[in-house]
Amino acid sequence: MPAYKAPLRDMKFLLNEVFDYPKHYASLASGENATPDIVDAILTECARFCEEQLSPLYQLGDEEGCTLKDGEVTTPKGYKEAYNQYVMGGWQGLSAPEEFGGQGLPASMGLMKQEMMGTANWSFSMYPGLSMGAMNTIFLHGSDDQKDTYLLPLTEGRWAGTMCLTEPQCGTDLGQVKTKAEPQTDGSYKITGTKIFISSGDHDLTENIVHIVLARLPDAPKGTRGISLFIVPKFMPGADGSVGERNAVVCGSLEKKMGIKASATCVLNFDGATGYLIGPENEGLECMFTFMNTARIGTAIQGVGPAELSYQWALDYARERRSMRALSGKKEPDQVADSLIHHADVRRMLLTQKAIAEGGRAMLYDAARLADHMVEGHAAGDTKKAEKYDDKLGFLTPILKGFLTELGNEAASLGMQVFGGHGYIREHGMEQIARDTRIATLYEGTTGIQALDLLGRKVLLTTKGGAVRDFTARIANFARKHLTDSRLRPFALDLLKLTAQWNLLTVRIMLAARKDRDVVSSASYDFLMYSGYVTMAYMWARQAATAVNCLDNGGDDSEAFYTTKLATAEFYFERLLPRAQTHATSMLSPSRNLMQIDPENMAFTG
């Protein structure tokens, strides 16, 4: 099985040349220590850790999986040792606040770390990834006591975190949550209920696990307005930060699943477990949204990672495997046949993977700057600033999560296709990437729910189309600046047409939805995918503009690197972006064609 190679050249191109992160970091309080040298050293070291420690465990973890014995979960061989290395390297606290033991570096550095770790070994990266969500939630909504008790061990990685929302009867519709929280005289609560599908719900990597749990207080209002958030530790923390007696929360079983087998997905039984309220009563879902937004951007990485990994391996294979002759004449006459890479249709598959990986990475790194500003606003107690950037990021979050994970699945499937029948055979690892990636469009809100969040909430309800107007203004502004350069003009013209179209589509859906409420749901998926293709087009145009500038004025990389960027941008605009028009047509078609068949008549069997 091939190994993962961190795409440091592409990452540095985006950081230093496209988005000017050195300038961005210089503008942040948390960026004081993120000088170019330090960033470079951290990325290099993280790449080494991922290539040498995590990548070799990728296939082994899939084969062995996690095991449950006597109520305790064991991770596959090598995972605990790798996790210890992770803790010793101080990786968990990379962008955590210094006052709680972190290194205080910008949030975006955490995202770059997460991209490399997740691509090398997604299952492994889920353990620290969920802890990050728990840390953010406690940091934002916890009392001073809770912060003092939980943040240091979580930041150090000695303890891990989980996110316990889903129950057998509900995953999306959390208004149906039944888990109960009964107040006790000492201010704590007894938590009782069953949570399913809980990632990292139990494992042997850390000395304690901090569950963040949604539950209902007695007499709480029905639905989402009656849900509160609780901290439920696996072991009760001692006053000195040590680990005390076992709490009444146990792993009842491990889910048997299609992929990410080295990630423990648990049924957790809370049987009068001691919990502590976090945030205000009945506002648990709002507090949990902090957790969910972080997790959703984290999951968007699971679109880019598999595209990158399956591209790397498919590219190697396409260079080595030989089949027939290129239609334009023999390319390797001394060989029995030409290698796959000389066939245009194989190029289509490879370039689609490449365009998704590099275009998706650009989308993430662009958005990560907003996350840096948002986190800085929170840290400084500047609510206005935090909300401003939260809104900007909130618009992009469903696009990143929904669109990139859908395309990540496509890229993983294409990777298998490049291998032909060998892609379906376990040895080469391509089917594992496809299996592992499949979950990304499901958890942290399905694609359908991301689409509703984008169109229904962020675009129509909250901003009346303003979110699209603001974002397209940014794109149009960029495009107008590049109309005069003949190499960039085609990209700029396309972008200008698309920004006008995106606004028009929004208005047409808004008007249609006034007459027919089903329109929001029926148009939402196509609206999400359209938004994704246009956003990725903007990112490819930005990379093309930077490449042109570097070709004219010199850059950090080779001429071949920049001409390849330009050619990939051209491929994206000419071969993938036209898909946006299918989505435009489809989203405007009436909801009637979806709703007119009576549910009874959906199938005629027997």
Ligand X SMILES: Cc1cc2nc3c(=O)[nH]c(=O)nc-3n(C[C@H](O)[C@H](O)[C@H](O)COP(=O)(O)OP(=O)(O)OC[C@H]3O[C@@H](n4cnc5c(N)ncnc54)[C@H](O)[C@@H]3O)c2cc1C
When asked if residue 291 is in the footprint of ligand X (CB under 6 A), the reply is: no
Alpha carbon dihedral 515, 520, 522, 524, in 10-degree steps, equals 150
Who's near 245: CB < 8 A, 6+ residues apart? Answer: 235, 236
User: Does the annotation count 98 as an active-site position?
Assistant: no
State the nearest-atom distance from the C-beta of 417 to ligand X, in Å. Answer: 25
Strands (E) across 124-248 are located at 159-164, 180-183, 189-199, 208-215, 228-233, 235-237, 243-246
Which of 91, 3, 8 lies closest to 561 in space, CA to CA?
A: 8
State the nearest-atom distance from the C-beta of 111 to ligand X, in Å. Answer: 19
Among 265, 302, 352, 472, binds ligand X (CB under 6 A): 265
Mask for 219-238, x = binds ligand X (CB under 6 A): --------------------
Which residue, 1 or 170, has its beta carbon nearer to ligand X? 170
When asked if residue 171 is in the footprint of ligand X (CB under 6 A), the reply is: yes
When asked if residue 174 is in the footprint of ligand X (CB under 6 A), the reply is: no
Amino acid at 575: R
Q: Are 371 and 393 in contact (CB under 8 A)?
A: yes
Q: Alpha-carbon distance 190 to 205, whole Å? A: 26
Element (H, E) at 254: strand 249-254
Q: Are 315 and 372 in contact (CB under 8 A)?
A: no
When asked if residue 442 is in the footprint of ligand X (CB under 6 A), the reply is: yes
DSSP alpha helix (H) spans, 142-279: 144-156
Which residue, 166 or 405, has its beta carbon nearer to ligand X? 166
Q: Which stretch binds ligand X (CB under 6 A): 74-82, 177-185, 193-201, 391-399?
A: 193-201
When asked if residue 446 is in the footprint of ligand X (CB under 6 A), the reply is: yes
When asked if residue 172 is in the footprint of ligand X (CB under 6 A), the reply is: yes
When asked if residue 25 is in the footprint of ligand X (CB under 6 A), the reply is: no
State the nearest-atom distance from the C-beta of 443 to ligand X, in Å. Answer: 4
Which residue, 7 or 279, has its beta carbon nearer to ligand X? 279
When asked if residue 302 is in the footprint of ligand X (CB under 6 A), the reply is: no
When asked if residue 197 is in the footprint of ligand X (CB under 6 A), the reply is: yes
Which of 13, 11, 35, 40 lies closest to 24 in space, CA to CA?
A: 35
Which of 41, 72, 77, 42 lies closest to 61 in space, CA to CA?
A: 77
Catalytic residue among 17, 115, 406, 444: 444
Within 515-534, which residues bind ligand X (CB under 6 A)? 521
When asked if residue 439 is in the footprint of ligand X (CB under 6 A), the reply is: yes
State the nearest-atom distance from the C-beta of 63 to ligand X, in Å. Answer: 18
Q: Alpha-carbon distance 394 to 453, whole Å? A: 10
When asked if residue 266 is in the footprint of ligand X (CB under 6 A), the reply is: no
Size of the site for ligand X (CB under 6 A): 21
Who's near 411: CB < 8 A, 6+ residues apart? Answer: 306, 307, 310, 311, 352, 353, 356, 357
Catalytic residues: 444
Q: Which residues bind ligand X (CB under 6 A)?
A: 163-166, 170-172, 197-199, 257, 265, 439, 442-443, 445-446, 448-449, 452, 521
